[in-house]
Structure formats: C-alpha cells, structure tokens
Amino acid sequence: MDLDFEHCYHAVKRRDPQYDGSFFTAVRSTGIFCRPICPAITPKPHNCHFFLSAAAALEAGFRPCLRCRPETAPNSPAWNGVKTTVSRALRLIEDGALDQDDVEHFSERLGVGSRHLRRLFAKYVGASPTQVARARRVLTAKKLISDTDYTMTEIAMKSGFKSVRQFNHTIQQLYGQPPSSLRKKGLTNRELKS
C-alpha cells in the first residue's frame, strides 16, 4: 500500500475499518501510534506520520496506544492467533526444532502449553507435532537415500534422527524394508534417468 498522506489522513478521520492493519498513525505531539480506527480525537495533520507496520512505528520511537491496541490489528500475531502459533511451529519443525528437543520445551519456546499445542495441531494439522517432525525426518531421509551417495549414518544424522538405530527402525517400519534396499531401488531409478 502506498502511504499517501492525504489518503491515510482521510481514512483516520473517517475511522475507516477497511484500513485497519494496513497502516499505523504516529502522533508526534503525544509520542503514541494508533490504528486508523482508534476512537481517540483525530490528531491534527501536522502531528501525523504514517507507518506500514507497528514495528516501524516502535522503531521510530513511538509507543502503542492503550485504547486501540495496535498489537491486535488485523494481520498481527494476536489477530491471527492460533494460525500464527501453528504456522510458526511448523516452520520451526521444518528447521529441525523437534529433532533434539521434546514437545514440552518446544511449546515453551512458542509461548503455549504442550497440551494446548497438541490440541492446535490435532485441529489444524491433523497430526501431532511429533508426528509432523517424524514425517519431515522420514521424507528428508528418503530423498537423501534416493538422491545422494551419503552413507546411511550421514543420512540418519542429516535427516534429524537421534541414532542410526532409530533411523533403520523407522525406515523399516514405514517402507517394510531397510534403507539399503531403498537405495538400491533409488540407484536403479537414477540409472534409468541417465
């Protein structure tokens, strides 16, 4: 969104909800920044400065309004609520956060309880955080088995398994064969592509 001063100021004067979360109004005379829908008296134009994000207004030295609470504006973490928590958790799991940590410590890192995190995953993902992490490890391992010449020990470690034993057991359980058999099939497929 282009922060055209006249356009933004007009939206603030109307307290237009369509712009809520699109920009923030910082008031030089008070040192406070607000959402466009703030019920406070509309500031004079010469005191206004507009920012695309609450973070930019904070960085410029303004503090959040206690009436309109900019931290709850649309598209903020508080507004997105559980979506933000689940999305962040999935990104962290993809980066290997659960490879060496347990769900209790992981949920503390996210600022929620482990039971709540499990409920969120059941509702929005259809699998537990541990199951998502396990799937990521297995899929990474399968790709490395098929596409690289790494040893099975290297693949186990690069995939996030805690041990080669756990790696072998998981692959055997899911594919019904040891990792070395998958590699033989992967090599055959690679040879066919050549």
Q: Is residue 97 part of a domain?
A: yes
Cα 143 from Cα 191, distance rounded (Å)? 16
Tell me: do 103 and 163 sit in the same domain. yes
Q: What is the pLDDT along the chain (194 residues), one digit of tens a residue?
A: 458 899 999 999 999 988 988 899 999 999 999 999 999 999 999 999 999 888 888 888 999 988 888 877 776 655 566 777 888 898 999 898 998 889 999 988 888 889 989 988 888 888 899 988 988 888 899 889 988 999 999 999 999 998 999 999 999 888 888 998 888 765 444 443 43
Q: Is residue 14 part of a domain?
A: yes
Tell me: do 89 and 67 sit in the same domain. no
pTM > 0.75: yes or no: no
Q: Is residue 128 part of a domain?
A: yes
Tell me: do 64 and 103 sit in the same domain. no
C-alpha distances (whole Å) from 111 to each of 27, 94, 106, 120, 189 are 32, 18, 9, 13, 45
**Beta-bridge partner residues of 27:** 32, 48
Tell me: do 95 and 150 sit in the same domain. yes
Looking at 42, 72, 102, the residue that finishes a domain is 72
Tell me: do 58 and 130 sit in the same domain. no
Structural domain total, the chain: 2
**Beta-bridge partner residues of 50:** 25
CATH number for the domain spanning 59: value is: 3.40.10.10
CATH number for the domain spanning 136: value is: 1.10.10.60
What is the number of helices (H) and of strands (E) in the chain? 10, 4
Q: Is residue 133 part of a domain?
A: yes
Cα 167 from Cα 66, distance rounded (Å)? 52
Decide: 170 and 137 in contact? Cβ < 8 Å.
yes
Handedness of CA 12, 16, 21, 23 (dihedral sign): negative
Tell me: do 110 and 42 sit in the same domain. no
Looking at 72, 98, 113, the residue that finishes a domain is 72
- The residue segments making up the domain with residue 66 are 5-72
Q: Is residue 194 part of a domain?
A: no
Q: Which two tokens stand for residue 163?
A: 């041990």
Tell me: do 160 and 68 sit in the same domain. no
